[in-house]
């Protein structure tokens, strides 16, 4: 049996390791929730223009769609910000999380798609 240095750890240290891992997974789930909410807002903004396209005055429809899409992009960026803070805190204690680069790339792509949607709506 290979000695990886973990056999002589106390039960308290093992519980702490598991608690840090659960916290890392919770941070990832929280970002996923922010991402879903942002996508729902962006999709809602696009759907409003499609479903209520004949609504007058036209500026009110565009304002509603624009507001939903901006809210979605802001939600994604806020989720990224909170994930980055959690990941930094966890990594300072030695726990590894999903790469902030990948999470940032995901948020950036969705924000760019929201911007394209804004152009299409306007």
- What distance in Å separates the CA atoms of residue 40 and residue 102, rounded to the nearest whole number? 21
Instruction: Quickly count: other Cβ atoms within 10 Å of residue 45's Cβ.
Output: 24
- DSSP class of residue 2 equals -
CATH architecture of 25-121: Orthogonal Bundle (1.10)
Question: pLDDT band for position 12 (50/70/90)?
Answer: low
Residue identified by tokens 């396209």 is 53
In this model, does residue 109 exceed pLDDT 50? yes
Mean pLDDT of 86-108: 80
Residue 114 contacts by C-beta under 8 Å, 6 or more apart in sequence?
Answer: 38, 42, 45, 69, 70, 72, 73, 76
Question: pLDDT band for position 2 (50/70/90)?
Answer: very low
Residue identified by tokens 């899409």 is 69
- What distance in Å separates the CA atoms of residue 74 and residue 120, rounded to the nearest whole number? 19
Classified as helix, coil or strand, 79 is: helix
> pLDDT tens across 52-66, in order?
878 788 888 888 888
Residue 1, pLDDT score: 41
On whether the CB atoms of residues 42 and 68 are closer than 8 A, the answer is yes
CA distances from 19 to 12, 22, 24, 58, 90 (A): 10, 5, 9, 52, 11
């Amino acid at each position: 049996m290979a000695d990886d240095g973990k056999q002589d750890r106390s039960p308290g240290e093992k519980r702490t390791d598991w608690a840090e891992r659960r916290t890392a997974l919770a941070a990832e789930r929280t970002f996923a929730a922010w991402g879903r909410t942002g996508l729902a807002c962006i999709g809602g903004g696009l759907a409003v223009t499609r479903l209520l396209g004949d609504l007058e005055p036209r500026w009110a429809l565009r304002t509603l769609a624009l507001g939903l899409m901006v809210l979605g992009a802001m939600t994604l960026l806020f989720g990224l910000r909170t994930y980055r803070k959690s990941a930094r805190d966890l990594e300072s204690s030695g726990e590894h999380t999903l790469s902030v680069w990948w999470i940032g790339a995901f948020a950036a792509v969705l924000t760019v798609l929201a911007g394209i949607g804004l152009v299409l709506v306007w």
